[in-house]
Amino acid sequence: MNIIDSIKASIFTPIHPAGIPFIAIFFILTVIIGWLWAPLYFAGIILTVWCIYFFRNPSRVTPVLSGSNKNNLIISPADGKVIEISKINPSEEIGLPEGNWTRVCVFMNVFDVHVNRSPMLGQITYKNYIPGSFFNASLDKASSENERLVLGMDTENGKKIAFVQIAGLVARRIICDVDIGSSLKAGEIFGLIRFGSRVDIYFPSDVAVMVLQGQKMIAGETIIGDFTKSSKPVKENLDEK
């Protein structure tokens, strides 16, 4: 892709429908404040462009395995940075059987794409909304104290996973478009969080983790885990209960 194609791709990136009302509000406010005092036009235009950028929804190409290994990859549900990889005994609110699970936490800053995508092919069997606080989503306590929404999935390969949308310091709205009984494809959009937040994903501890702490994730594309490979030791954190 040359420079011109890259610019065109950025300009014509689709917008998530949840962002349209906000973009309209920012645009109207820009016109009003600009009419009151012309220099404010520039600030309003910058904020409107940022709002459009925030709600962008770029297309993604989701990797899949073939043959007997099909549907065994766990794909990142969010853009952002891996801030934690740990072994954990999840609390009851996560809806997973008691035991040792791997948790990978992906933090989204305000410049990341905030559209969330399904990690695997499967059916939603558990949904749990928990009211909470709005601490910085990069903090450890955000997983247990912030407002959050848990989705549990029975995957096509017969396993269980869970993923959690967590509100952040600025984010005050979790959008989830699926319910119990919904079927999702790997990489399919299921929701969005406004404006800066994180997504935690839980999967069996014997599944190989394919990412490193600090690594940049691309929702719907980056492979987080692989059921066909054995896990390696990671930091243990078994005191969540």
174 by Cβ neighbours in 10 Å (0-12 / 13-18 / 19+) ranks as: buried
Per-residue confidence band for 2, with pLDDT thresholds at 50, 70 and 90: very low
19 by Cβ neighbours in 10 Å (0-12 / 13-18 / 19+) ranks as: buried
Per-residue confidence band for 7, with pLDDT thresholds at 50, 70 and 90: very low
**What is the rounded average pLDDT of the residues 148-176?**
89
Per-residue confidence band for 37, with pLDDT thresholds at 50, 70 and 90: confident
pLDDT tens digits for 199-213? 999 999 999 999 999
Please count the other Cβ atoms lying within 10 Å of the Cβ belonging to residue 76.
Answer: 30
| 23-27, 86-90, 134-138: segment of lowest average pLDDT | 134-138
Which residues are part of the catalytic machinery?
197
**What is the rounded average pLDDT of the residues 40-64?**
85
Q: What average pLDDT does the structure give for the chain?
A: 85
pLDDT score for 1: 47
CA distance 215 to 114: 17
pLDDT tens digits for 67-100? 667 789 999 999 999 999 999 999 999 999 999 9
pLDDT score for 211: 96
**What is the rounded average pLDDT of the residues 159-180?**
87
> Treating both helix axes as pointing N-terminal to C-terminal, what angle do 40-54 and 20-36 enclose, rounded to 10 degrees?
170
pLDDT score for 57: 87
User: Is the pTM higher than 0.75?
Assistant: yes
